[in-house]
Structure 1
Amino acid sequence: MTTIDPRALRNAFGTFMTGVTVVTAHDADGNPLGFTANSFTSVSMDPPLVLVCLANSSQNYDALTQADGFAINILSEHQKDVSNTFARPVDDRFACVDWRTGPHGSPVFDGVSAWFDCSMHKTVEAGDHVILIGQVQAYDTSPTPGLGYARGAYVTPMAEAEALSQNANLIVSALIAHGNEVLLVDDGNGGLALPEIRVGKDGASAALTKLIEASGLSAEPGFIYSVFEDGAREHQHISFLCQAADGIPAKGCFTELSASTLMDIADPAVRIMLERFASESRMGNYGVYYGNQTSGKVRPIVSGS
């Protein structure tokens, strides 16, 4: 079994759990099978357990309940076609996606935000569904943002950003994380800050792309982590949580959010946001802040469908 880093796995759960997923396995003859699911749920960190629910009426019921394991593929924002294909009857669903056999044996997709390859821990009958509980044996994540689904439509980070980009005085910052560290830059006054940029006529998505390109890192836009009105600087501020791959930033450095580091954050609103991020990272349970620079509400990102 692959050694699982509990803290890294907890962060992966917290970052990707609300995305659209495809659950995959092999049937008794070795043929790949899969179906689209709105979400999955973390059950335990020790051992690392996750669950998904399957309708008793599903044509995959027998194969999945008798399988040795299953994989959870968190689709990226560019994989709407994959979601649609695995959500309806298609002769060869796997023809539309590049995939391979994962370390524990279930199909894992290329180009996804994350995948978790699990052994079957237990199946539990629950009314007209069966609960499949898997133990994570291997996993991988990428900086690619996930695909969301709400109120009958797909949701992507950039769609959210553009909906908030009508304010002419808008600042976008990138909360670029790698492991337990965050990219911080010199604010020009002896303090530290997140990379940020004023939004121009091209909109928030273009502004965020410029920030990421300037960082010199391989990272892609994640979900909106905080939205607040900054009365002190008279602007609206949107901060995106972005996961970075390995690499050295062109400007600034990755820093763990210790108490001494947070004291060097000059902007009090950003400091409070990063204090919250440090706390949520430890728990692997994120929320989205809406308010102003002094008060507001955190809306939890709730797992489960």
Structure 2
Amino acid sequence: MSNFDVRELRNAFGSFMTGVTIVTAVSKTGEKVGFTANSFTSVSMDPPLLLVCPALRLSSYDIFESCDHFAVSVLAEDQQHASNTFAGSKGDRFAEVEWHADEFGTPLITGAVAHFSCSSFQKVEAGDHLLLMGKVEQFSSNEKFGLGYAKGGYFSLGMEHKAEEIAHEQYAQVGALVECNGKLLLKRTEQGFSLPQGKMQAEISSLQTLKNLLVSLGIEAEVGQVFSVYEKSTAGNFVAFYRAESVAENTLDGYEYVGIDDLSDVAFASSDLTSMVTRFVQEKRNGVFRLYVGNELEGDVR
């Protein structure tokens, strides 16, 4: 046994951005099983091989350990529900998602970005997982964007691109929810608290504009995913907010860090900021961040 903190090691592994898959198989008696996995990799082109790693603690482990065939469905960006369903362990998961069988009778998740139907090629127990290598017998793919996963949360490249396009509108603003040590950086204004933000700079992306803004404020931070992109109808422009993590809780003139648990008591300068920060607090507690696209009153959360 190592002396590593298991959660810290898991978080370190989780910093590697991956796609999300559902691995499925059928038992000798016809029972369909499946689990969500982001540990998936291609192994070889000749022969065509891929690798997945079911855990020994998996309730369906014996079926994967003895299966002759299995399948991998690479999920699309709108299939978070399927991912969450097969990450759970209760009920008939196949009743909650659309699926169809390949020629071997193995379930494939309908609407996925890619499907791989495999025969079992090699199985090796490694620590607390099984290295299940499959030979690809059939496959299919399409032009959809895949569902991404990193640091305990989903992300969508398609929605990120859409957000970037919207954020290039003329006179757009760009800002950030800057987090540090369980606190959020807020700006004091006469109307109430706001967030670090500024006007889009010409000829550069919203992301680079934000990075320049943070540098100008003396904030050293790692900028992450887009969190909200919405139109402010009263001003007729778009606002894009990113999540960011500051490396140090520096004292900044006109700004202060407020504990995330205390944000519900903060009076913000506008209702859209109140709504966005409220969602941030909820999603921070749930450990899954999403992207909002719309206006200050209504929109889609993906």
Relative to the length of structure 1, the TM-score reads: 0.51
| Shift, 1:259, TM fit | 5.5
Match of 2:110 in 1: none
Match of 1:23 in 2: none
Alignment of 1:88-167 (within 5 A): 120-123=127-130, 125=132, 128=135, 163-167=165-169
Is 1:253 the counterpart of 2:240 in the alignment?
no
The 1:219/1:225 distance shift into structure 2, 3 A limit, reads same
Match of 2:196 in 1: 195
Aligned counterpart in structure 2 of residue 289 of structure 1, from 279, 288, 292: 292
Q: Is the 8 A contact 1:174 1:211 kept in 2?
A: no
Q: Matched residues in 2 for 1:121 and 1:51: separation?
A: 16
Matched pairs, number: 195
Q: Is the 8 A contact 2:41 2:50 kept in 1?
A: no
| Shift, 1:150, TM fit | 5.6
Q: Is the 8 A contact 1:214 1:250 kept in 2?
A: no
Q: Matched residues in 1 for 2:132 and 2:20: separation?
A: 17
Q: Matched residues in 2 for 1:291 and 1:39: separation?
A: 26
| Shift, 1:55, TM fit | 4.6
Aligned counterpart in structure 1 of residue 187 of structure 2, from 166, 185, 189: 185
| Moved segments of 4+, more than 4 Å | 8-13, 55-59, 61-65, 126-129, 148-151, 159-162, 259-262
Q: Matched residues in 1 for 2:13 and 2:132: separation?
A: 28
Match of 2:39 in 1: 52
Bigger radius of gyration among the two: 2
Q: Is the 8 A contact 1:177 1:183 kept in 2?
A: yes
Q: Matched residues in 2 for 1:180 and 1:227: separation?
A: 24
Q: Matched residues in 2 for 1:12 and 1:176: separation?
A: 23
Match of 1:172 in 2: 174
Instruction: Provide the secondary structure at the position in 1 that maps to 2:279.
Output: helix
Letter paired with 1:264: A
Q: Is the 8 A contact 2:225 2:243 kept in 1?
A: yes
Match of 1:234 in 2: 236
Give unmatched runs, 5+ long, in structure 2. 22-36, 54-125, 137-149
Superimposed CA distance per residue, residues 206-243 of structure 1 (whole angstroms, 9 cap, x where no aligned partner): 43123211332221332211100112333211001112
Superimposed CA distance per residue, residues 223-274 of structure 1 (whole angstroms, 9 cap, x where no aligned partner): 2111001123332110011122134142412222335545411211111111
Match of 2:19 in 1: 39
Match of 2:61 in 1: none
Match of 2:210 in 1: 208
| Shift, 1:202, TM fit | 4.1
Q: Matched residues in 1 for 2:184 and 2:52: separation?
A: 40
Q: Matched residues in 2 for 1:150 and 1:195: separation?
A: 24
Match of 1:114 in 2: none
Letter paired with 1:280: E
Match of 2:74 in 1: none
Q: Is the 8 A contact 1:170 1:198 kept in 2?
A: yes
Instruction: Provide the secondary structure at the position in 2 that maps to 1:167.
Output: coil
The percentage of aligned residue pairs carrying the same residue is: 18
Greater RCO between the two (CA within 8 Å, min separation 6)?
A: 1
- For the aligned residue pairs, the C-alpha RMSD in angstroms reads 4.2
Instruction: Provide the secondary structure at the position in 2 that maps to 1:237.
Output: strand
| Shift, 1:280, TM fit | 1.0
Letter paired with 2:296: Q
Is 1:280 the counterpart of 2:283 in the alignment?
yes
Q: Matched residues in 2 for 1:298 and 1:121: separation?
A: 36
Letter paired with 1:53: F
Q: Is the 8 A contact 2:193 2:266 kept in 1?
A: no
Match of 2:104 in 1: none
Instruction: Provide the secondary structure at the position in 1 that maps to 2:248.
Output: coil
